[in-house]
Structure 1
Amino acid sequence: MSHQHFTPAVGLHELVTVVRAPSVCLSGGDGQISAGGAQGFYDSDRRILSRLQVEVADATVIPVGRSHGGGEAVFSSQVWPDGDASSDASVSLHRRRTVRPGGLTERLEFVNRGTGPVGVRLLVRCGSDLAPMGRVRAGADYVPVASEADGSWVRWSDGGQEVVLTADREPEEIRCEDGGAVVAFRVVISAESTWSVTLSASPSGTERAGADRSALFGQAPTGGPPVFRASAQPRDPVLAKLVGHSLEDLDGMLLTDPFDPADLFLAAGSPWYFTLFGRDALWSAALLLPLGTRLAAGTLRTLARRQGTRLRPQRDEQPGKILHEVRRETLRVADVVIPPVYYGTIDATALWVRLLHDAWRAGMPADEVAALLPHLRAALRWIAECGDADGDGLLEYRPSAHDGLANQGWKDSAEGVRWADGRFAEAPLALCEVQAYAYAAAVQGADILDAFGLSIADHWREWAARLRERFRRSYWLSDAYGPYPAIALDAGKRPVDGATSNMAHVLGTGLLTSEESALVANRLAQPDLDCGYGLRTLSETSRAFNPLSYHCGSVWPHDTAIAVLGLAAEGHHTVACSLAQGVVAAAEHFEYRLPELYGVPGGDGGLLLAYPTACRPQAWAAAGAVAIAGYLEGRASYGVDARRTTPPEDGLRSTR
C-alpha cells in the first residue's frame, strides 16, 4: 500500500483505537482526544472531530482503567471534588465511547456511591479541522475550523463537509473560542445515584453527498449471517485470544461496494487506509478463505467492477488491470500524488486470478464464478501483455509517468528494493514474487477455463511453463547461507542481491521444484531473516537493514503468514512453525492486536519495537494472525504442541 512518512506527536501504538468502518476514533489512553497529531474521530478519510476533552473544573480526576473492543471503549476515572479529603473517592466518571459507521457517541456518566449529594462542573472542550486524511498523515499543521453554537449543539463547516456535535441534555453554557467551543454542564449527583449526558457527532454536507459514488464505501449490513465463521475456537488459550481479537477487528473493518451493498471487502487499515486497496483486500480474503467464501466473492466482484478498461497513463490504468487503491479525492503527500482511482500495482491482477481460483475450489458457487469469466480472461491478457512491457516473458514495472508510486509491488515505499550494499535498484524491476503470482495465475486460470469449457486453457499453461524456465535461469544467487532467489531483476536484467522475505511468496505457487523450495526454506530459516518474532523483510546482513524502516528489515505479520502457508504447502513445517510461533509471541506484546509492522533489532536481546505510524488494526495483519493460528492449531491436532516444540516434517501440508 502507498506509504509516506511523517512524525506524529504520539505513536499510533500509544493511542486507543475504536473502529467501525468507515469510521474510527483515536485517543489517548485516558480517552481524551487532543488537537494536533493523529488523534481524532475520522469518517471516510476526513477528520470529523479533532478535539474532545472532558474536564471536571472543580475536582481532581485520576484515570484508573479502560477497556475497548467491538466498536466500543470505556475510560474510567476516580473524582475527588474540591474539599473532599477522603482517601477513597466516592465519585466515579465513566466515559463510554461508541463508534458506528458515520457517527461517534460519548456517554459521560458520574456515579456517586457516597452518602450525600455532590456538585461539580463538567466542561467539554471540542474542535474540528475537517482535515483530509492526506493532510493529517503528512503531519500538516493543525488549522481549526471556526465553530458555531446554539442551544445544545456545536457546528463546524468548511463549505462542503460539516459536522454537528449535540448533547441530549441542555448545557449550562456553550462558548465558542480559539477555533473550538466549550460546552459546560452543572452536575449535581444525588447520594447513591448517577448523572449522565450523551454527546453525539455526525458528519454531513454536500461533499459527502456529492463525492464520486464509487469511492463512498459504506458500512457492512447488520443482522445477517456472520462473515467470519470459525468452525471451532483454538484450544490453546493464547491462540484463542489472538483469533478472537483479530476477528473482532476484521468485523469492524468490513466495507460494502456502493454499486452492490451485498458485496463486502475489508478496508486496508486504520487510520490511514479506510478504503479499497486491491492487493490488501485480495490477500486478506485469501488468508481468510478457511472461514468461508463470502468475503472473497465480494472482494472479487468489487474489484472486477473497477477493472481497467482503457489506457489512462495519469492513473496507470490499462485494459484488464486490477486497481491499487480508491480514494474520495487526490492524495498528495510530499512528492507523491495519487489520483482518486489509481492502478499503480504490478501484482494485484495476478492475485485477483489466484483468489478467484482458490474461492472456486473452496466452494464459491459456479454461477458466481462464471459471471467473472470475462474479467478472468481480461486479467490474463493483461498479465501476458501489458504486465510484460518489454516482451521478455517476465512481468516488470517502471516508474509512473506522473508522481505516483516509485515501487509497485507490495514493498511500495521508495526504498523498498535495495542491493545488498545499500544501493537502490534501478527500474524497470521484475520482482521475484510477481513472477510466481503470474505463474500460478496462468496455471490456475487455465484450470478454471477448462472447467467452464473454454478451449484456450493450454495456451496459458504453455505460457506459464516458459516463465518457469526463465525464472530458473535468471533469479538464483548465493550468499554465505546458501542459494536463494533474488528480490528482482533490475533495469539491466541483473539479479538484485541481498536476501529478502519476497522469496517466501514464491513458495506454494508451483514455480519451484521441491529441491528449489528446500533451498528457499533453508534460507528463510537463517537468523538474519527469522528474528524470533517473525520474518524480516530484509536480511540483517544488508547495508540497507534498519529494523524500523518500512520495508528494509521490519517484520510484517501478513508477510510472515504468507511464508508460513507457503512453507507448509511445500512440507517444511519446522521453519513454518518457527516463524508462526514468532508472530504469536509478538502478538502477546501487542495485546493480541497485531500492527501493520514492527521492528526487531539485531543481537540476542529479543527487543520488540513499535513502528510509530503503523496501522493498528490492519486487515492483512489480522487476517494473517487468523491464518497463523489456524496453522498452529492444525499442527497441534496432529499431536504436536506447535507453539512450543519443533514438529516433524510430515503431517499437515497445507491449511488452504
Structure 2
Amino acid sequence: MDVDPTPATPVQPFLHDLHATVAAPSQVWSGADGQVFPAGAQGVYHADVRVLSEVVVRVDGVLPEPVGGGGTGPGTSESTAVLRMIDGPGADPTAALRRRRTVRPGQVSESLELTCGTAEPVAGRVTVRLASDLTRTETVKQGLATTPLRPDVSQGLRWTDGAAVVEVSAPGAEVVADDGGATLAWDVRVVPGGRVTVGWSAHSRVPGVVEAPARPDPEWTVPQVEADDRRLAPLVARSLSDLAGLRMSAAFAPGETFLAAGAPWFFTLFGRDSIWAARMLLPLGTDLARGTLRTLAARQGTHDDPTTSQQPGKILHEVRSQELRGEGGMTLPPLYYGTVDATSLWVCLLHDAWRWGLAPDDVADLLPALEAALGWMRDHGDADGDGFLDYADTTGHGLSNQGWKDSGDSIQWRDGRLAEGPIALSEVQAYAHEAALGAATLLDAFGRPGADEWRAWAATLKHRFREKFWLHDDVGPYVAIALDRHGAPVDAVASNMGHLVGTGILDTDEERVVAHRLVAPDMSSGYGLRTLSTTSAGYWPLGYHRGSVWTHDTAIAVLGLAKAGFGAEAGELVRGLLEAAPHWDYQMPELYGGNAVGDGPGPLPYPASCHPQAWSAASSVAILTAVLGLEPTPDGGLAAHLADPSPVGAISVDGLCVGARRFLVRATPEAPVRVEPSDH
C-alpha cells in the first residue's frame, strides 16, 4: 500500500534529528551528513530569514554516502562521506569527501575536499545545488509551503526580495541557474595520496535590529572541570561552546552582548530567557550580565501602549525585525512586552551581578532602570488589585500565557480544565519577592531611598502568598501553580513550585515540603523534573508544558534546593540531568520527554525542541554552582561547600570568578572544600 508522507495540513517541522551549526545571527540546519535538503526546517538562516533552502552536494549526479559527521566547535561542523560512484574495485571504499562548514555572522562557507586511496587517479563532477526561498522563520516553523526564487546572475549569483539579500561566490565553478535555483559544478581529478578542494560561500544581509556582537571572544571564562562523574566535564564544555554561538547584540545597544534564546525559532533577544542564562553564568564572569541588563534597559517601557503590552518600567518579552505571525491568529509586534516575569528577573539579575563583582559604576548607572522596574511591579504588575502580579492578554492576539510556561494549555487544573485569566503564577510572586529584597539591599548600598518600603512590600507579599497559594491532596501540602481570575488556587501539581525554593518567599519547613514533592516519582522522571505531575489528567510526556522535562526548569529547582540546604533533593535532580545528557551528545535541548528511566532506552526527544538553547546550555553552570554551593563573599572572595551527598563525587573547577578575581575550587566528600586563587 502506498502511503503519502505529506501531512494533509501544515505541521511544525521536527528538529530532533537535525544538526545545527550556529554563529548568531546566522545558522545552518542540516542532516548530520551536512546536506540541506528542501524539506522541513532545513536551511541556511540569517536573522529571521531562511536565505538558502537547499544545499545538496552530489558527485557524478549521485549523493555521497555518509559515514560520520558532527560539530567541531563554535560555528563549525564537518562530515565525511565515501564516493563509491568513482572509487576503484573491491569492498573497501577508496574515495572520500570531507565537507567542512564554517558559519560566521552573515556568512556561511564550505570546503569540499576529495581524497582517494586507489591505485589510479579518480575523476568526477562535483555539484552543489542551491536554492533560496527567502522565507521568514515563522513561516518555516508553521510548516507552510514555500516556493524557490529564481536567482539573479547578472552580477554573480544572488537572490533578493528587495530587502534580504544573499550572494554566493564559488571560485572556479561553472554556474547554471534555473527557475528553482542554481547548480555549481567543478570537474575534478584526484591522484592517490593527493587531495583536491573546491568550495563556495554565501554572504547574507537582512534588515533588523539585532546584529552580531563586535567582540569575537565570549564574555565568560571557560573553566577546567574534573569530576568523578565523567559526564559533567563534557556537558560543561559542550554547553559553553554552544553558548558562544548564541551571542548577539542589538542596534539599540551597540557593543552590548546578550544571549539569543535559542535556535532556530527564538534566535533573538528574549527578556526572560536572556536574563536567566546570564544569571546562571555569573560564576564565570559578569560581563554578559552587564550587557544583558543594559540591552534590556535600553528598551525598558516608558508609557502605556496596549498594542505592544508596554507599560512604564516594564522589561520586554522579545524583539523581532517584523511583526510575528503565529498559529491560531497570534500576531506579536516587533517589540513585544507580553511577559509578567522579566521585570522582576531583571532586578534579580542586577542584584546578583553586583554580588558577583559587577563594577559599582556599572550598577549605579542601572539604578534608575531598577527603580522604574520596581515601579512597574507596584503600579502595573497587579492588574486586578488582589495583591499579586498577574497577566491577561488584552489584545486578543498576543500570548495567552505570559510566564515561562507560555503555551495555551500550560496552566490547567488537575482535571485538565484550563485556568481563566487574569492569572497570578506562583513563581512570579517568588521572583517579585526576591527582587524587592535584592533591590532594597542595592538601594541601601548606594545610598538611595526606598529600601524599607520594598522590604515591607516583600513581607506583605509573602504573608499574602502563604494565605492563598497552599493546597493539600492525598500526599500532603503543596503550592498551587497559580491563582485564576476568581482568586482560586489552580490545583495541578507542577514544577513551578521548584522556582520558589531559595527565593525567601517560603520558610524552611515550607521549602522542605516542596523539596520532597519535587523528587517524588510523579514529578522526577529520573532524567529531570517534569513540568506537570503524572497524577494530572492533562499529563502527557511529550506535552510542551504538561509533562515534558525542561533542562532550565530542573536547573532552577536545583539551584534553589542547594541554596536552601536540601542537598539530597538537589542531587537527585542533578543526576537526572546528567543521565539525560549523553543521550543528546551533551547538547541539552530546550525540552525532552517526561518518560521515566527504564521506560524505553532513554528520554524521548521532543521532536520540535530547539537546540542549542541558551538557558538549557547555561544550566550546566548552574549544576556547578549547586554542587559546589558557590557564594560570593562581601570582600570579593568565593565561598563553597560541597553538596551532601555529592551527586558527582569529587570535583575540581578551575576558572570561577568573582569580579576580576579567579578561583580554583577542589572538593571531595571526605575532606573540606578548598578555595584557592587561580591562574586560569
Interval of TM-score (by shorter of Structure 1 and Structure 2):
over 0.9
Query: Which residue number corresponds to residue 176 of structure 1?
Result: 177
Query: Which residue number corresponds to residue 295 of structure 1?
Result: 288
Matched, 1:618 2:621: no
Query: Which residue number corresponds to residue 44 of structure 1?
Result: 47
The one-letter code matched in structure 1 to 2:428 is V
Query: Which residue number corresponds to residue 78 of structure 2?
Result: 74
Cα displacement string for residues 365-401 of structure 1 (whole angstroms, at most 9, x for unaligned residues): 1111111111111100100110012222111111232
Query: Which residue number corresponds to residue 191 of structure 1?
Result: 192
Query: Which residue number corresponds to residue 486 of structure 2?
Result: 492
Secondary structure of the 1:73 match is strand
Q: CA deviation at 1:512?
A: 0.7
Query: Which residue number corresponds to residue 454 of structure 1?
Result: 448
1:228 paired residue among 220, 228, 239: 220
Matched, 1:55 2:55: no
Distance change >3 Å, CA 522–CA 637, structure 1 → 2: closer
1:273 paired residue among 252, 266, 271: 266
Secondary structure of the 1:521 match is helix
1:314–1:402 CA contact under 8 A, matched in 2:
no
Structure 2 distance, partners of 1:245, 1:572, is 28
Query: Which residue number corresponds to residue 549 of structure 1?
Result: 543
Matched, 1:369 2:363: yes
1:60–1:81 CA contact under 8 A, matched in 2:
no
Secondary structure of the 2:526 match is coil
2:474 paired residue among 471, 480, 498: 480
2:30–2:37 CA contact under 8 A, matched in 1:
yes
Query: Which residue number corresponds to residue 397 of structure 2?
Result: 403
Cα displacement string for residues 105-127 of structure 1 (whole angstroms, at most 9, x for unaligned residues): 01011113333221111121110
Matched, 1:158 2:161: yes
The one-letter code matched in structure 2 to 1:623 is A
Q: CA deviation at 1:235?
A: 2.8
Q: CA deviation at 1:463?
A: 1.0
Q: CA deviation at 1:289?
A: 0.8
Q: What is the number of residues matched between the two proteins? A: 633
Deviating more after overlay: 60-69 vs 36-45: 60-69
Query: Which residue number corresponds to residue 106 of structure 2?
Result: 102
Matched, 1:200 2:192: no
Structure 1 distance, partners of 2:46, 2:276, is 24
Secondary structure of the 2:311 match is coil
Q: CA deviation at 1:60?
A: 7.3
Query: Which residue number corresponds to residue 129 of structure 1?
Result: 133
Structure 2 distance, partners of 1:191, 1:369, is 63
The one-letter code matched in structure 2 to 1:115 is A
Query: Which residue number corresponds to residue 322 of structure 2?
Result: 329
Matched, 1:111 2:115: yes
2:568–2:644 CA contact under 8 A, matched in 1:
no
Cα displacement string for residues 1-47 of structure 1 (whole angstroms, at most 9, x for unaligned residues): xxxx97355x3110111111111100012211011210001111110
Secondary structure of the 1:397 match is coil
Structure 1 distance, partners of 2:620, 2:300, is 29
1:115–1:192 CA contact under 8 A, matched in 2:
no
Distance change >3 Å, CA 638–CA 276, structure 1 → 2: closer
- Mapping of 1:370-389 within 5 angstroms? 370-389=364-383
Deviating more after overlay: 386-395 vs 142-151: 142-151
2:384–2:422 CA contact under 8 A, matched in 1:
no
The one-letter code matched in structure 2 to 1:29 is A
Q: CA deviation at 1:629?
A: 3.9
Distance change >3 Å, CA 389–CA 93, structure 1 → 2: same
Structure 2 distance, partners of 1:42, 1:318, is 33
2:314–2:376 CA contact under 8 A, matched in 1:
yes
Secondary structure of the 1:400 match is coil
Structure 1 distance, partners of 2:11, 2:574, is 31
Structure 1 distance, partners of 2:245, 2:508, is 40
Query: Which residue number corresponds to residue 26 of structure 1?
Result: 29
Query: Which residue number corresponds to residue 415 of structure 1?
Result: 409
Structure 1 distance, partners of 2:424, 2:62, is 64
Matched, 1:643 2:645: no
1:242–1:593 CA contact under 8 A, matched in 2:
yes
Runs (5+) with no aligned partner, structure 2: 1-8, 630-639, 651-667, 674-680
Structure 2 distance, partners of 1:111, 1:604, is 45
Matched, 1:92 2:88: no
Secondary structure of the 2:376 match is helix
Secondary structure of the 2:111 match is strand
1:529 paired residue among 495, 499, 523: 523
Secondary structure of the 1:48 match is strand
Structure 1 distance, partners of 2:189, 2:628, is 54
Deviating more after overlay: 258-267 vs 131-140: 258-267
Query: Which residue number corresponds to residue 145 of structure 1?
Result: 149
Query: Which residue number corresponds to residue 16 of structure 1?
Result: 19
1:360 paired residue among 354, 358, 362: 354
Q: CA deviation at 1:455?
A: 2.2
Structure 2 distance, partners of 1:383, 1:485, is 22
- Aligned-residue CA RMSD in angstroms? 2.2
1:6–1:137 CA contact under 8 A, matched in 2:
no
Query: Which residue number corresponds to residue 309 of structure 2?
Result: 316
Secondary structure of the 1:427 match is coil
The one-letter code matched in structure 2 to 1:27 is S
Structure 2 distance, partners of 1:49, 1:70, is 21
2:568–2:645 CA contact under 8 A, matched in 1:
no
Distance change >3 Å, CA 32–CA 603, structure 1 → 2: closer
Q: CA deviation at 1:175?
A: 2.4
1:573 paired residue among 567, 570, 580: 567
1:148–1:155 CA contact under 8 A, matched in 2:
yes
Cα displacement string for residues 478-508 of structure 1 (whole angstroms, at most 9, x for unaligned residues): 1222111101110000000011000011111
Cα displacement string for residues 443-502 of structure 1 (whole angstroms, at most 9, x for unaligned residues): 111111111111211111111111111101000001222111101110000000011000
Deviating more after overlay: 636-645 vs 120-129: 636-645
Runs (5+) with no aligned partner, structure 1: none
1:96–1:108 CA contact under 8 A, matched in 2:
yes
Q: When the two structures are superposed, what TM-score results if normalisation uses the length of structure 1? A: 0.93
1:22–1:274 CA contact under 8 A, matched in 2:
yes
The one-letter code matched in structure 2 to 1:570 is A
The one-letter code matched in structure 1 to 2:401 is N
Query: Which residue number corresponds to residue 249 of structure 2?
Result: 256
2:87–2:116 CA contact under 8 A, matched in 1:
no
1:58–1:82 CA contact under 8 A, matched in 2:
no
The one-letter code matched in structure 2 to 1:165 is V
Cα displacement string for residues 606-648 of structure 1 (whole angstroms, at most 9, x for unaligned residues): 5411111111110000001221144336699578542379x99
Query: Which residue number corresponds to residue 6 of structure 2?
Result: none
Secondary structure of the 2:515 match is helix
Distance change >3 Å, CA 60–CA 415, structure 1 → 2: closer
Distance change >3 Å, CA 112–CA 82, structure 1 → 2: closer
Secondary structure of the 1:587 match is helix
Cα displacement string for residues 393-432 of structure 1 (whole angstroms, at most 9, x for unaligned residues): 1111112324000000000011110000000000001100
Structure 2 distance, partners of 1:374, 1:269, is 30
Distance change >3 Å, CA 83–CA 413, structure 1 → 2: closer
2:416–2:536 CA contact under 8 A, matched in 1:
yes
Secondary structure of the 1:197 match is strand
Structure 2 distance, partners of 1:457, 1:632, is 33
The one-letter code matched in structure 2 to 1:367 is D
Q: CA deviation at 1:511?
A: 0.6
Structure 1 distance, partners of 2:178, 2:39, is 17
Matched, 1:217 2:211: yes
Deviating more after overlay: 107-116 vs 341-350: 107-116
